Amino acid sequence: MDPKAPILVTGASGYVAGWIVKGLLEAGYTVHATVRDPNKVSSVGHLQKIAANSPGTLKLFKADLLNQCEFVDPMAGCELVIHTASPFIITGFVDAYEALVRPALEGTRNVLRTVEYTPSVKRVVLTSSVAATYGDAQDALNVPNGIFNESHWNTTSSVDHQPYLYSKTIAEREAWRLQAEQSEPNRWDLVCVNPALVVGPALTTNSISTSISTLQQFGDGTMRLGAPKMWNGLVDVRDVADAHIRAGFTPEANGRYILCGETLSLLQMGAALRKQFGSKYPFPSLPAPKLGFWAIAPLYGFTRDFVARNMNYKIGFDNSRSRRDLHIEYRDVRTAVCEHFQQLIDDGLVKKR
């Protein structure tokens, strides 16, 4: 890689991308950052401030995932493309295909087809997700010791059931297909990073990432009466950013990399928060019984099918490839959860008590 060549980061306004852009600017690179609205201060102001205090250079470009032409200019001259843009919402939409699947799939196609027409590009790093390795926690029954690794694929999600997970799965599959079918064989390679639920401080207050809303629920009383017995793989956002950058610059990096520091249940996350913040917030302390939660699930925005397939099944993730090839030494996820919650309080996104 030519250190002077610009690096394209799509979805630069996002929670995860903010830390990637920061890392690249601090290392002195020129970042071509795409956002849907480069004039929206709430979306890009934090990036401009970071750039002003870094040796690197930030250039903002407008690009919507649904418009292939818009990626041509920002990609010109880039050797490395880091494609993070994709909606990460699990509630609040009417049409799952339009809200999630179409932007994820068409966005990946549009970015990678532009790669085909941009001869300078040598590597694409795609932000996929552990969501592309499994669909429901119940799927853990089909893998050794309930531990998912990079050989696993999500085969149980659909546009009607777990559409976000489905969107990530078909977008990653499409990326591998386009990489394999490129017109000049092996001119560019693809490395996918597959993070678990990302936690830790955000550089922006503008993100609508489910990472933020998940943490908010620990402070707003949603789980006051009990938390369903569900487990999340968790990873610090700074480790996720480091992994993207190392995936971009480590010549031997290849294939998929699960990123997960540790898997915690909702109750374990609640316990970590209570240890740090005491009992002034309604952190969950009791497990919700499956049958009871199944009955009232629709009131909380979950389908009963989701509860049936996801409650009471422990899951785990094998992070050994990322430790071996990318040399990620994972930060403590309980600390990241607490830092993130403190930031939500400071930013007014969780009520101060």
Q: Report d(CA 77, CA 72) in Å as an integer.
A: 10
Q: Rule CB under 6 A: is residue 213 a binding residue for ligand NAP?
A: no
Q: Rule CB under 6 A: is residue 195 a binding residue for ligand NAP?
A: yes
For the chain, how big is the Rg over CA atoms in Å? 20
Residue 111 CB, nearest approach to ligand NAP (Å): 10
Q: Which is nearer to ligand NAP, 294 or 344 (CB)?
A: 344
Which one among 35, 80, 170, 260 touches ligand NAP, defined by CB under 6 A?
Answer: 35
Q: Rule CB under 6 A: is residue 284 a binding residue for ligand NAP?
A: no
Residue 12 CB, nearest approach to ligand NAP (Å): 7
Q: Rule CB under 6 A: is residue 15 a binding residue for ligand NAP?
A: yes
Return the ∠ at Cα 84 (arms to 207 and 126), rounded to 5°.
155
Binders in 55-74 for ligand NAP, by CB under 6 A: 64-66
Binders in 136-175 for ligand NAP, by CB under 6 A: 168
Residue 291 CB, nearest approach to ligand NAP (Å): 29
Residue 260 CB, nearest approach to ligand NAP (Å): 10
- Of 81-89, 139-147, 277-285, 324-332, which segment contacts ligand NAP by CB under 6 A? 81-89
- Site residue total, ligand NAP (CB under 6 A): 28
Q: Which of 168, 275, 351, 352 does the annotation list as catalytic?
A: 168
Q: Report d(CA 161, CA 294) in Å as an integer.
A: 16
Q: Rule CB under 6 A: is residue 87 a binding residue for ligand NAP?
A: yes
Q: Report d(CA 211, CA 274) in Å as an integer.
A: 19
Q: Rule CB under 6 A: is residue 16 a binding residue for ligand NAP?
A: yes
Bridge-based pairing state of the strands 262-265 and 231-236: antiparallel
Q: Report d(CA 18, CA 209) in Å as an integer.
A: 12
Cα-Cα-Cα-Cα torsion 114, 116, 118, 122, nearest 10 degrees, comes to 120
Q: Rule CB under 6 A: is residue 84 a binding residue for ligand NAP?
A: yes
Q: Which is nearer to ligand NAP, 63 or 253 (CB)?
A: 63
Taking alpha carbons only, the member of 58, 79, 77 closest to residue 1 is 79
**Residue 40 annotated as catalytic:** no
Residue 225 CB, nearest approach to ligand NAP (Å): 25
Residue 131 CB, nearest approach to ligand NAP (Å): 7
Q: Report d(CA 274, CA 227) in Å as an integer.
A: 14
Q: Rule CB under 6 A: is residue 100 a binding residue for ligand NAP?
A: no
Q: Rule CB under 6 A: is residue 19 a binding residue for ligand NAP?
A: no
Q: Rule CB under 6 A: is residue 106 a binding residue for ligand NAP?
A: no
Q: Rule CB under 6 A: is residue 43 a binding residue for ligand NAP?
A: yes
* Residue ranges that bind ligand NAP, judged by CB under 6 A: 11, 13-17, 35-36, 43, 64-66, 84-88, 103, 127, 129, 168, 195, 197-198, 207-209, 211
**Catalytic residue positions?**
168
